[in-house]
Chains A and B, each alone.
Chain A
Amino acid sequence: MAALIAIPVLLPLLAAGIKLAIGARLRNLQGVISISALAVNLVVSAILLVQVDTHGPMVARIGGWEQPIGITLVADRLSALMLVTSSAVTLCVMVYSVVSAYDRQEDVAPMAIFHPAFLVMLAGVANAFLTGDLFNLFVAFEMLLSGSYVLLTFGGTQSRIRAGATYTVMALMSSMLFLIALAVVYAATGTLSIAQLAVRFGDLTPQVKLLVELLLLLAFAIKAAIFPVSGWLPDSYPTAPAPATAVFAGLLTKVGVYAIFRLESLLFPGGPVGTLLLWAALATLLIGVLGAVAQADIKRMLSFTLVSHVGYMVMGVGLATVAGLAGAVFYAVHHMTVQTNLFLVTGLIERRTGTTSVNRLGGLMRKAPLLSVLFFVPAMNLSGIPPMSGFLGKLALVQAGLDVGGLLPVALVVAALVTSLLTLYAIAKVWGKAFWREQGEGEVAPEAGEEPVERSLTTQPGLYGPVSALIVLGLAYTVLAGPLSSLTVRAAEELMARQPYINAVLGVG
């Protein structure tokens, strides 16, 4: 069974290699390879989740090396849950991108370059979720980043190169910080295995511990786009192709958030950084959503809400209780699905109309009623309309905040509610202008220097499939809220308890 853990990392890499070898030939086979690799991934991660939930954390020692020496992959409830969600989401995005490539009869570049980069990125994401080693986490980050560099600058247009430059340099800075942190950690403890570190950090002086924690936190915060270091995200994401933005929004920030989950629960439980995280969450929530309210482009608006809603997860971690962490995990699962969904729908809008600027859109409700419904449901889910999963996740976090009590947590609860309202406001603005307004009212001519976007009035029905599947998945979180939230609570308990993970990896007991 333990061998299964390596599959989510190896299979996408294998598929990417095969696709690179095939190159531009055998178009039908290309799509089959990508989709079947991700489908197998989904099945394997679901099996892993069931196994881990019943038997406790599972460990795979690569090459049979014992723990401190070799690379280990560890699956516990948190990582398996994240893996299942990310596999489901990426499968939908992959189907979308395959259908869209066939639909447009484009030249072969998308299949031959886009998909391998996409698959390498997914392997990196899976590796980040599963790794039991800080250096391997660094490698995982680099894998997913190098995939994302290619996806973000795909086609090499001027705006993408400009956005790609900012994105690449920001990502490199965070990697450098991470490496410095790794050097300090290794010098202080002599190991980089997460489980061993969890034991050995107890012996360090508080100053060294704090230094290491802050360094790692800063590196992860850049990846997760938490407020003082979130400026790169709304600048770079909106320019990428729709499937790339969708999967960036769904997965990449969540990888940073996942690393913070691990850092705060397993490595540094109950440190002084919790308060700092609460302040960061407060600033991220409010500043992100205020940015969203000011935007006139759907993609940019969604990018700002993405930054803002990362604040909810950070809030759950900062509260440092089982309820808070469980709420954050639930919210992460919900947010991965819904944010990806919204970006994909925006991609459909762009295909249909050639723009995503609300000043130039109008009358979509009449022109494309199906598209409107596809946008409306996840948008309401994101802004937390009951009984959708956005509401449930926010409710769990608000309850956790009120349970903790005190000035800052209660202020955060207020900020969370305000953010939810302002998200609804930002989405209502888009809805009112792009969908409800009559066509032709107040339309603005395209700005000079804007790159034209290809458009096709007849959208392939196959594109609606993956988008609808994501909507169904988002709504399923409501139907399955009971089992899902008890699973997140169990995952949070396992994280806070720390011992199951440490014992499984170090082979004690």
Chain B
Amino acid sequence: MTISLVPLIVCGLLVAAGVTLVLERSLVRVLVGVILMGNGVNLLIVTLGGNAGGPPLLGQTPPEEMADPLPQAMVLTAIVITLAVTAFLLAMVHRAWQLRGSDEVSDDTEDRWVRLRARRGELGERVRARQAEYDRLVAEQRAELREPTRGEQLAHRRADRRRLKARQREARKQMRRTIRAERERQALALDPELEGDE
């Protein structure tokens, strides 16, 4: 059996175009895709069904020149079935258009759930961030309000005393510096002749 390439290429093209259209959302395009694909497959069956020949009627064609009638019978059946399904799909397109004004297939339940859950997730993150901020504030305020323990009280008092002593030391240093400066000024004042000399 020899098979010419052209029908096979045509059949591949038809099926490829059909698959492309079936992947669309619009039901009319899907319908056209199904029809194209059906034709492609029917062509495949006829092409693979053997060489061309005479009509398979006894007395008209010698048996060895007859075309194989079986693939043709199968293709006829397949065509009839495709016709019925096409009619059904068309009715469905019409009904979808009546109901929604478009023939687009909408998202399925699972898709809607996933979308809903994603939206809830976003919302949740925002809520969580605000909650964390609030928790931090509360913790700070609690720390301030808390009654100090005995050890902490002692440590606190010791730290206070140290700070007080440091401040006194600083004050004394400051005082001495002031006194020294005053004395120098007085010394200069006592001896006015020295002023402007040198």
Residue positions of A touching B, CB distance < 8 A: 135, 138-139, 142, 146, 149-150, 153, 156, 158, 161-166, 168-169, 172-173, 175-176, 179-180, 182-184, 186-187, 192, 234-235, 300
Cβ contacts under 8 Å, A165 to chain B: 27, 30, 92, 96, 105
Are B74's CB and A162's CB within 8 A? no
Which of B22, B27, B38, B95 has the most CB atoms of chain A within a 10 A radius of its CB?
B95
Are B96's CB and A182's CB within 8 A? no
Select which of A139, A153, A173, A184 is within 8 A of B92 by beta carbon.
Answer: A153
Cβ contacts under 8 Å, A146 to chain B: 81, 84-85, 88
Are A158's CB and B100's CB within 8 A? yes
User: Nearest B residue to A150 by beta-carbon distance?
Assistant: B88
Select which of A168, A173, A183, A235 is within 8 A of B109 by beta carbon.
Answer: A235
Q: Do A168 and B88 contact each other (CB < 8 Å), given the known contacts A176-B38, A179-B41, A179-B45?
A: yes
Select which of B71, B78, B108 is within 8 A of A166 by beta carbon.
Answer: B108
Are B34's CB and A172's CB within 8 A? yes
Q: What would 11 A/B residue contacts be, using CB atoms closer than 8 Å?
A: A142-B85, A149-B88, A153-B92, A165-B27, A168-B85, A168-B89, A182-B45, A183-B44, A183-B49, A186-B49, A235-B108
A235 to B100 CA separation, bound complex (whole angstroms): 20
Does B140 make an interface contact (CB < 8 A)?
Answer: no
Majority secondary structure of chain B interface residues (helix, strand, loop or mixed) = helix
Interface residue tally on B, bucketed by range: 20 to 34
Q: Do A183 and B48 contact each other (CB < 8 Å), given the known contacts A161-B92, A176-B37, A176-B41?
A: yes
Cβ contacts under 8 Å, A153 to chain B: 92, 95
A162 to B112 CA separation, bound complex (whole angstroms): 13
Does B153 make an interface contact (CB < 8 A)?
Answer: no
User: What is the distance, in angstroms, from A222's C-beta to the closest C-beta of chain B?
Assistant: 14
User: What is the distance, in angstroms, from B106's C-beta to the closest C-beta of chain A?
Assistant: 6
Cβ contacts under 8 Å, A139 to chain B: 77, 81
User: What is the distance, in angstroms, from A97's C-beta to the closest C-beta of chain B?
Assistant: 22
A300 to B109 CA separation, bound complex (whole angstroms): 10
A158 to B99 CA separation, bound complex (whole angstroms): 7
Select which of A138, A162, A179, A192 is within 8 A of B108 by beta carbon.
Answer: A162
User: Nearest B residue to A185 by beta-carbon distance?
Assistant: B48
Does B110 make an interface contact (CB < 8 A)?
Answer: yes
Cβ contacts under 8 Å, A172 to chain B: 34, 85
Cβ contacts under 8 Å, A235 to chain B: 108-110
User: Nearest A residue to B98 by beta-carbon distance?
Assistant: A156
Select which of B44, B45, B85, B99 is within 8 A of A161 by beta carbon.
Answer: B99
User: What is the distance, in angstroms, from B47's C-beta to the closest C-beta of chain A?
Assistant: 8
List B residues 12-28 near A (Cβ within 8 Å).
22, 27
A172 to B32 CA separation, bound complex (whole angstroms): 13
User: What is the distance, in angstroms, from A58's C-beta to the closest C-beta of chain B?
Assistant: 25
Cβ contacts under 8 Å, B109 to chain A: 235, 300
A179 to B44 CA separation, bound complex (whole angstroms): 9
A183 to B40 CA separation, bound complex (whole angstroms): 12
0 or 1 for each of B90-129: is its CB under 8 Å from A? (1 = yes): 0010011001100001101110000000000000000000
For the complex of A and B, the 7 pairs showing the least CB-CB separation, nearest first, are A187-B48, A183-B45, A179-B41, A235-B108, A183-B44, A156-B95, A183-B48
